[in-house]
Structure 1
Amino acid sequence: MSLLNRASGSDGGGAEGVAAVLLDGLGRVMWWSSAAEELVGEDTEDVTGRPVEDVLGTRVPPPAAVVRLPAAPDGGSLLVFRERARSGDRERDRDLGRSLLNQQRIGVAEFDTRLRLTRANTAMEALRPAGAGAAWLAELEDCDSEKPVRELLTRVVESGAPIVGVDCRSGPAGSDPVLTLACFPIDDAHGTLAGLAVVATEPTTRLRAHQRLTDAYRRAFEIGESLDVVHAARDLVELLVPGLGDLACVDFPDDVLQGRDPALGYHGFEASAPRRVAVKSADGAWPAAMVQPGERIPPVPDQASHAAVAVGVVRKADAAAARAMLGDDPELVARIVPEHMHSTLGCPLYHRSRLFGYVSVWRTRTPEPFTEAEVRLLQDLCDRTAVALDNAYRYTREHRTALVLQHSLLPPAVTVSAAAETSGIYLPASGSLSVGGDWFDALSLSSMRTGLVVGDVIGHGLQATATMARLRTAVQTLADLDLPPDELLTHLDDLVQRMQAEAEQPDAVGASCLFAVYDPLSRFCQMASAGHPAPGLLLPDGRTEFVPVVPGPPLGVGDNPFETCEVVLPPGSVLALYTDGLVDYDHDIGRGGEELLRNLRRFHASSRSLESVGRDLIGCHPSPERPADDVTLLLARTRAVADEDTVHWEYPADPAAVHDARADVDAQLDAWGLEDLRFSTELIVSELVTNAIRYAGGPVGLRLIRGPVLVCEVSDPSNTQPRLRRALITDEGGRGIFLIAQLAARWGCRYGARGKTIWTEQPLRLVGLPA
């Protein structure tokens, strides 16, 4: 039976159209294949037992087409034959193959079973990309599976099943398909696989248009991400070419380019003399004859364009209509219309009744005109771009307001005092972030001391700027009380907790802060940190290190004390206070801090101004032009008051000591050449020493400091707070502090571990002496 199955095309896997007849020893039919039934036209039941000659008669095939095989010991045999092919069928087969190979728009290639290209027609060779090798067809990539075509051919060889409708590309993932393939096996005359045939066609126009629309809508989400109007225009033309046309441009009025909101309504786009801000050409070169980026658009006489802009719709035109709109002026046509243009679209960038610009797209090489689907696409893209431009203006307005407010709240960039010279730099974040809450300050404290503060508020925008303003004001007020750094931060922490209780989003209110006080007489610098990085220190001998301050929790956490760190700073030492935006090198603050110390040592020189040193340090930031976060840097180069510019006395609690104090002060002022301040200083010393002896007891300390101002300090063991009040005519006392306030430029009181110190300042420049 296996022999019968092989012989029968219907019952086994033999060649199609092969007929088989099983005969006994007398030549009678014992079995009749289905192929024989089809060739002869009789069923098996009708021919069984009949002589084969009677059954076949004249229809017996010629002997050349018959094969007799022994089938049984009794002399039986198997008769195998097939119908002779008609000459007409062979001719039609040859005509079909020749016509297929001669197709001009259908590529045909033949591969052997080892996937080697054996031949290809002229159309297939024309589809080969320039510079591609002989195996280029197998190296294409399936758009769906992203596998090479070679794997698909291998599958056809192994399974024998054809594969049709495979879209392939030769470029990167996401690029348009270049060919559509069909692959099927080629069998020889005996049904054995002899090779593969591949038929290739270019994707249809409809498919290419669908791919362009899909890709354009996908990329439309990238428009306006930078919140910059010019960048948004460039994003749009990058999407339009080659996604929609062969050339595209965007024009903006001056209001948009100069950061002003366009006026409400339509006031004539061409009348505003817009400028070209973005262009794109499919061949990479923008036509030299056309309006170039940065140039103004010449006036256009056509009123239809005004109407189109006014209503905010897409305008579609062919070459003749476009030239007619320009009055067929050859010079104007050359400036506005590209050569070989056959179709154009134009659409205004319109949003909230404001005209932000105008977009033009042309087709020169693409043969198809714009479809209605592409018109809708351009409208959608322009609407999206207009929204992005409006968002950019909203951001720009808030950013500008916050930036003005921020800079108005910051102190002068450079300050000079007897204690230190300082230089501060603030660089706002770029990109989608608005101005943040970073701040720095250099405060003039009593007795020629200086206070240095740097802070960083959580978040960005006006809310962060307003929080910064409140904290900076609070620091100034608390610093005037001469509080130690740790105590000042404790009060500041209480303020932030109250602000959190008042806020709708408490987690959005918080800050870090570092406060330092430097005394030029003792050369001591005390500081405390609330979640802020330690400042860098450059000593006069060139050594650099971080001040060993222990950061406490950020402001607003509460219930944790702050620690005070005290270091000695020789004259000429440089402190670098900063926010984390300066040292955040790819989220590695440790590496950024070490880089800061190296650069501080490299750029600093005693002959250079701190301002120039600060600019160099900022310039070493990984993104100095577009930092991801606010960058703040405060540099302070310390000074010291010379020993000969200060003098100190101590007196017992004896009223007679007031006379001694006046005499000592007079003598010292004469020695310093400050005789013109003798009268006012005598009155101040007399009042303060008298009050100290009368109300606080002794000992009473008196110190004079000469610098830009003359400082007079009187210390006593009492913690009583002196108060300024206006005495009545009938009052016998209460006028001393009022008198001091009239004679001194500044006065105040600070408390120490024991007792208090009342201090006054008299500017030396008021008496014609150098400051």
Structure 2
Amino acid sequence: MTTPPEEAGASGPGLDEAVLSALFTQSPVGLQVYDPQLRLVRVNTTTRFLSDRPVEELLGRPMTEVLDAFHVEDVDELIAATQQVLTTGTPVRERRVRLHDPDPEAPVRVASASSFRLEGADGTVLGVTAAIVDITERVRAEERLELLDRAANTVGTTLDLFRTAEQLGDVVVPQLADTFSVHVFDAVLRGEAPPSDTDLPTLALHRAVFRRAATRTQQPPRTTVTRNDAVGEYGVGSPFHRALTELHPVLIERLDPDEQPWLDPVHRRRDELLLASGAHSMMVVPLLARGVVLGLASFYRWRSPVPYDHDDLTLAEQLTSRTALSMDNARLYNRERWVAGVVQHTARDTGTYSQSAVEAAQAYRPPGASSVWFDVLPLSGARVALVAGEALAPTAHAAAALGELRAAVAALSELDLPPDELLTRLQDIVSRNTPGGGSAELAADPRRPVPAACLYAVYNPVTRRLRAASAGGPAPVVVTPDGAELLDVVPGPALGQGVGDYAVAFRTLPEGSLVVLRNGALAPPDQDDANAASPYADLLRPALADARLPLRDLCVTVLDALAPHATRESHPDAAVLIARPRALGPDRAVTWELPNSPRSVGEARELATEQLAAWGLAELVDDVALVVSELVTNAVRHADGPVLLRLIRDRALICEVSDDSSTAPHLRRALDTDEGGRGLFITAQLSERWGVRPARRGKTIWAELPLP
């Protein structure tokens, strides 16, 4: 705006000229003036530093040629926006423009461009002026802050050391690095800290994550975790050796083989791959947390031509310091979890289990065995599951891994699945958590599951039938009054190995039977097959001659008989569980088969009422009659074949209705206007527990009502 002459002081007439001269000679803002045809007519001094071409040569040139000389991106969009300013008079403020320097190693510059129209005193359009400010450093600072903010929100959200390293890789690639890797010391994988009195560069490191940006012909960035990627042979003077020795980050701005004597592509495969990748700049940052050196983080550039600088190194330090703290938290967590697992297994309860279906006891030798577990899990319908599990390759983290596997078995048992289906689901869970979809070897990577054997058997005290399936575990030994024999169960692949394919073996247990579960250490003498039958019969007959002895005594006897032969190194722990099955006779369980007819609903109600009276449970008549009516009604409505009704008097009164329909019922809340849909809701309200148990053909709906 020009000061009116009548208001100007003594120096007023020259002030506008002085301001205009200063803008074109001293202003830090680049100015370009274009005529109405968008031809460059005037520039200031600052503009000269934004182009490698003499600006005087551009005077009179169209805006397209000027922008090309300044290496501006999106030329057409910028010209259209300027033309809009000329037409409407509405200025454009702080539009960001990227400037590509012809030097491939020069960083991309960013400018802020503002445009406004020039008008004469009579309103005539004289042209347009563009004001340009170089904001490259400001943009880079914003990008660094954005990267730090993203890392703060995403890195360290888990107590998994490897996942934490992956999270950092997701943040820095490709914004900060074209290739990124993290290597950690072997001791860290075990939850330990590298000894402070040891030369760190001589210790073996393992690659925790490798992240590489995509090229035009490649897939998106990928993450790999490599086992046994030991990179301990660091050459003296290498950035890796210096970072571990000095515990300070190292910046190599230009990775030139002629200027970096530590590179030895002939004798070191790592250096050969580094040069072959095209990396031209790198940073190596030690991972330090709480005074503990966890490993190294390495940043490489090969796609971006801009070398790393000290600002990048500062940013890398800030990112890795937070990540190192999260990784150390994961290390400490893994250590405490391992200790807790050892304590849990050392303090293992070797007492007896007592339930309606079985009485059981277990014993271990040595008593602190940490690679074996047994469980006796209550199931619906007074049934019970007998579980035996064992790590096939015990390591420091086997106890923690088996603890997770044991919890998974207990959770799946709540679904009342047949033994083969339960092991199949368990195999799927383990395989999904195994890098590569299942490994035949136990990896040093704690994320890999411990290959384990598992036997899952279900005993029904009403039918006295035992059903069992095995995932690499030894078959159970069934001891009857006639002698000892192995249950004819074909073991499928161990958990974490192969594809789950399991078969079920059946056996009806006579009165006075015993079921013996053991681990692979209790193999017959001179036999590689732990399921060989005849030696077991010879060894167990005298050990179990008197099946009426206390089960804990029998466990000790069996260990004394079989453990001397357990000399294989792969099974250092000998363990056994002996179960004495019980039966629920007619005085505890009653079963009726009813035709598939609406009349069966009333008949079922009458039968249940009579049986409750015989058991002296008249107080439950109303509730049981209502539950039985609803369940039988659903069965008649949805099934085709006969309906099976069973009442079991156990620690609770159990009502079971079985049919041949595989349709699973769903609990829902019926509206006041609905004529049906309340059966399961009523059942759930009257019972302590209820559920659906799938069968080979059909299903069983059960409900447990508390006894008076």
Which TM-score applies when normalising by structure 1?
Answer: 0.43
Larger radius of gyration: 1
Larger RCO (alpha carbons 8 Å, 6+ apart): 2
TM norm structure 2: 0.46
